Amino acid sequence: MTKNSELVELRLKLDDAITYGTQKAALTLAKKYLKMAEKKKIPGEIEYFKGQVEMLQENFVTAMEHFDKATQYNPLDGAAFNDRALCMIEIGIIDKAFFYFDMGLRVEPDFATIHHNKGWLLNNIGRYTEAIACFKEALRLDPKRPVTYDNLADALYNLHDYKGALEAYKKVLLLLKPGMCRGIRAEIKRKIIEIEKKIKK
């Protein structure tokens, strides 16, 4: 969890909205929190939430500029480094994104989200074993992250560890709040059935 922010709770609520909600709802929240940061006159937070607004509007280059300014005001802002990396991925700059994930982890090694996102990228480029290590570290720091169990299950599945994937997917269903993410829940149930068939063969 990020400690190096004056508006920690707002950032965490926004992160949840981005992960489990809709883009529209997350954008509304980001704009609201930007106004709050402006009212409090906290330059680093203003730049961070400006970056979030731009990122949610898919203006990734502009978002990166704001995240860079956020880290100039607060060099210990791991979330800003993390989100800069995510913007780079969106515009196809993959290798350098790792540099910013690692910068974020250097200043906030206990921030589970950065470990998760680095693992997500590793998984997407086929580096499954490294991805699993990142997901496990994220879960050590924050054991109740359904999204991380979901990604861990995917990486384990990619390595043909079907029993491990099944266990991780079941954990997602346990951790998702009732009524949350119905589409995700249905997809995971489908994957569980598919894996159970593979295990029985």
Of residues 190 and 14, the one with the higher pLDDT is 190
Q: How confident is the model at residue 4, as a pLDDT? A: 57
pTM: 0.91
pLDDT digits (tens, 9 = 90+) for 45-59: 999 999 999 999 999
Domain spans, the chain? 1-110, 128-201
Check pLDDT > 60 for residue 1: no
Indicate the CATH number for domain 1-110: 1.25.40.10
Establish whether domains 1-110 and 128-201 are of one fold: yes
Which helix (H) or strand (E) segment is 192 a member of?
A: helix 182-200
User: 3-class DSSP state for residue 110?
Assistant: coil
**Among 122, 175, 121, 115, CA closest to 145:** 175
Which architecture does CATH list for 128-201?
Answer: Alpha Horseshoe (1.25)
One-letter amino acid of 23: Q
Check pLDDT > 70 for residue 185: yes
Q: What percent of the chain has pLDDT over 70?
A: 96
pLDDT digits (tens, 9 = 90+) for 122-169: 999 999 999 999 999 999 999 999 999 999 999 999 999 999 999 999
